[in-house]
Amino acid sequence: MITCVVEYQIDPAKTAAFERFARAWMQLVERHGGTHHGYFLPGEGASDEALALFSFDSLAAYEQYRTLFGSDPDFVAADRIRDESGCVIRYRRTFMRPLLPGR
């Protein structure tokens, strides 16, 4: 299993747009074979940081999902939310291997 951790710097004035963007991507990950563990939005403290975590069975499965970026209409529409609203200032993607209890 590989887990993608995406760290976002967001525009705090555009949190509603970021939530629309996040909901769209959660559905896409689930629809295309991944497990989305959720987006984590600002609560207290820094108000411009958010996280997303989602997993695929393998890096190959993630790469298959990535082939849809820029071509699948639903992926393009989800990115359009981000691009047109300006809700994401920058992001960084890291891949991790989870160590889970009892496994």
Host domain of residue 26: 2-96
Count how many domains the chain has: 1
Q: 30, 46, 36: which is closest to 5 by C-alpha?
A: 36
Q: For residue 71, give the CATH number of its domain.
A: 3.30.70.100
Structure tokens at 9: 């710097």
- For residues 14 and 85, the answer to whether their CB atoms sit within 8 Å is yes
pTM over 0.75: yes
With respect to residue 22, please indicate whether it lies within any of the assigned structural domains.
yes
What pLDDT, in 10s, does the model give residues 52-78?
Answer: 999 999 999 999 998 888 888 998 999
Structure tokens at 59: 């890096």
Tell me the C-alpha to C-alpha distance, in Å, between residue 17 and each of 3, 57, 64, 86: 25, 30, 27, 8
With respect to residue 33, please indicate whether it lies within any of the assigned structural domains.
yes
What pLDDT, in 10s, does the model give residues 12-46?
Answer: 999 999 999 999 999 999 999 999 999 999 887 76
